[in-house]
Chain A
Amino acid sequence: MKQRLFLLLSACLITVLAPAQTAKELLQKVKTKYDQVNDYTATGKMKTNVIFIKAPVASIKVYYKKPDKLKIKNESGVSFIPKGSANVNMNNVLGLSNFEAVESGTEKIAGITCKVIKIFPLSDEENITRATLYIDEARLLMIKSVISTRENGTYELLMTYKKYAEWGLPDNVELSFNTRDYKLPKGVTIDYDNGSGKAPARDAKNQKGKVEIAYASYEINKGVSDTVFN
């Protein structure tokens, strides 16, 4: 009787733990792919779509250096770069060492069947509180991620890959993030009323901003100076 009970418990335990292990294995494989890149300098165009910002399309340079240095610079103009853009660097999640990973089925993202993996960091010191990753298992690429951070809210990343897929580097990234209401005190700016009307009523807590980066080229593993991140 005791032996049967032990076998039954073991079977249950294996059933529960097995997918988590698979999830970690898959993450490890993805990390190995992304680890090919030690640094890169990329050029591209950035579109900002935030309800209270009217900005031109910016020509940007993106600098990355392992493990977690990432800087987006508009070198020929002014851009408001979301603080969560650091999460464009997937090492922020894949580089976690102390975490639980739970497989949560599959989902189709932009026509690609992705494995959904939820990640829960166990250390209180991590800035990331939880992350949901949508991984193209066949190509070992992160198609989408939803990352909740302690300080900067939740960020959603949607990536498409073409030329640099073998390095795990996207050609296009859409970063969605929560924004806070923008309103200056009355009478400060004394605006001209051009009849365009007041901005539509907005729920300050549920505003979403979006930044889209279309990469034109990458220079991979050619070395990036630390000074660009200052």
Chain B
Amino acid sequence: MFTELLKIELYKIFKRPRTFIAFGAIAVIILLVQFALKVNGKDFVQFYTDSQADTFDIPYEKILNGYFVCVAVLHMILIHVPLLVALIAGDMISGEANLGTLRLLAGKPVTRTQLIMAKFWASTVYVILLLACMALFALLGSILIFGTEDLVVFKETDMHIMKSGDVVWRFFAAFIFAALALTTIAAMALMFSVFSENSLGPIVATVCVVIVFTIVQQLRVPVFEETINPWSFTTHMLGWKGFFYVDKNVEGATISGSVENPMSLVRSGLILLGYIVLFLAISIRGFNKKDILS
């Protein structure tokens, strides 16, 4: 029965043309970034390496490879993808209420908890497909256009170089982690959706929460760094980047296959899972108690 429910929800999601706007937008953004980096990639790399140009010979052409471009694309896009996720997940319940189909839906011989879970899993499938599309365009596309080489990841105070043979698994891990992070957004949008009668409110609320916590995180003031940031989901949503921070041995050489402080990724993953469970619990409780009038 649950599978049937899930199929129906997926059918509803993918029947709406706006669902494909997100896929189209992602494809266009990625192609634009790839085009820009193909034309002006050296300037882009120079921005990161300028302070060291007097000390080192910088291999600009080698740095600008498919893996580097994919990380750059993900860095630019993943911050905005929560909006695309909220557009779908924020409409899951409130959209039905708005259309007047929610009472009909609740009248089916399934529990309201099953309904919420079906909508949540349908949103998760949407998130995974969105990321798969991103992986296809950003990773495969960039490899085809720019080729492969060692990956250089620039951080604020240091840079990490990984052998090309030690990179692909990191992308898979990063995409899986990003799926977990975006599922958190989907769960939050679904939760807001339960308490709203129109679609716009939950979508805007989700985006606002993400913006507020991202700004709080970026302010980097001690009062927030010690209180809010360690528990803010926006802090842990960046965990996908952690797979591109490599550990080094005592001699300073990177250790192939290593991740700098992997336990922090486990912690971030668990915190995001905790948020998903919390949002789902609130959604289920709220929906079970909801007086459905439309």
What residues of B have a CB within 8 angstroms of the CB of A193 in the complex?
A: 229, 235, 238, 264
Give the contacting residue for A196; candidates B51, B63, B161, B260; CB below 8 A. Answer: B260
- 9-residue interface stretch from A16-24, A52-60, A112-120, A221-229: A52-60
Give the contacting residue for B159; candidates A49, A52, A187; CB below 8 A. Answer: A52
How far apart are the CA atoms of A168 and B162 in the complex, in Å?
34
Contact with A along B73-86 (1 / 0, CB 8 A): 00100010000000
What residues of B have a CB within 8 angstroms of the CB of A184 in the complex?
A: 48, 154-157
- 9-residue interface stretch from A28-36, A100-108, A174-182: A174-182
What residues of A have a CB within 8 angstroms of the CB of B239 in the complex?
A: 192
How far apart are the CA atoms of A151 and B261 in the complex, in Å?
39
A188 at the binding interface (Cβ < 8 Å): yes
How far apart are the CA atoms of A180 and B166 in the complex, in Å?
29
B55 to A83, Cβ gap below 8 A? yes
Query: What range describes how many residues of A lie at the interface?
Result: 35 or more
B7 at the binding interface (Cβ < 8 Å): no
Shortest Cβ distance from A81 into B: residue: B57
How far apart are the CA atoms of A81 and B49 in the complex, in Å?
13
A50 at the binding interface (Cβ < 8 Å): yes
Q: Closest Cβ of chain B: how far from A120's Cβ, in Å?
A: 24
B contact residues, total (Cβ < 8 Å): 50
Contacts A83-B55, A152-B54 given; indicate if A47 touches B252 (C-beta within 8 A).
yes
What residues of B have a CB within 8 angstroms of the CB of A198 in the complex?
A: 157
Contact with A along B142-186 (1 / 0, CB 8 A): 000000011010111111111110000000000000000000000
Contacts A77-B149, A183-B157 given; indicate if A191 touches B254 (C-beta within 8 A).
no
B152 to A78, Cβ gap below 8 A? yes
Q: Closest Cβ of chain B: how far from A191's Cβ, in Å?
A: 5
What residues of B have a CB within 8 angstroms of the CB of A80 in the complex?
A: 52, 56-59
A183 to B51, Cβ gap below 8 A? yes
Q: Closest Cβ of chain A: how far from B158's Cβ, in Å?
A: 4
What residues of A have a CB within 8 angstroms of the CB of B268 in the complex?
A: 192
B254 to A182, Cβ gap below 8 A? no
What residues of B have a CB within 8 angstroms of the CB of A194 in the complex?
A: 242, 245, 260-261, 264-265
A44 at the binding interface (Cβ < 8 Å): no
How far apart are the CA atoms of A152 and B241 in the complex, in Å?
34
B150 to A77, Cβ gap below 8 A? yes
Most A C-beta atoms less than 10 A away, residue of B158, B218, B220: B158
What residues of B have a CB within 8 angstroms of the CB of A79 in the complex?
A: 59, 161
A182 to B251, Cβ gap below 8 A? no
B238 to A48, Cβ gap below 8 A? no
Q: Closest Cβ of chain B: how far from A177's Cβ, in Å?
A: 7
Contacts A78-B161, A183-B157 given; indicate if A192 touches B241 (C-beta within 8 A).
yes
B112 at the binding interface (Cβ < 8 Å): no
Q: Closest Cβ of chain B: how far from A179's Cβ, in Å?
A: 6
Q: Closest Cβ of chain B: how far from A178's Cβ, in Å?
A: 8
B254 to A55, Cβ gap below 8 A? yes
B256 at the binding interface (Cβ < 8 Å): yes
Contacts A179-B55, A180-B54, A191-B155 given; indicate if A54 touches B252 (C-beta within 8 A).
yes
Q: Closest Cβ of chain A: how far from B191's Cβ, in Å?
A: 25
Shortest Cβ distance from B237 into A: residue: A192
What residues of B have a CB within 8 angstroms of the CB of A111 in the complex?
A: none
What residues of B have a CB within 8 angstroms of the CB of A82 in the complex?
A: 55-57
Contacts A52-B158, A56-B253, A199-B158 given; indicate if A152 touches B242 (C-beta within 8 A).
no
A190 at the binding interface (Cβ < 8 Å): yes
How far apart are the CA atoms of A198 and B51 in the complex, in Å?
19
Give the contacting residue for B254; candidates A51, A54, A81, A192; CB below 8 A. Answer: A54
Contact with A along B25-65 (1 / 0, CB 8 A): 00000000000000000000000100110111111001100
A4 at the binding interface (Cβ < 8 Å): no
Q: Closest Cβ of chain A: how far from B185's Cβ, in Å?
A: 17
A191 to B238, Cβ gap below 8 A? yes
Q: A190-B238, A191-B238 are in contact. List 19 more A-B contacts (CB 8 A).
A: A48-B253, A49-B252, A52-B158, A54-B159, A54-B248, A55-B254, A56-B161, A56-B163, A56-B253, A77-B62, A79-B161, A80-B52, A83-B54, A83-B57, A151-B54, A182-B51, A189-B75, A194-B260, A196-B261
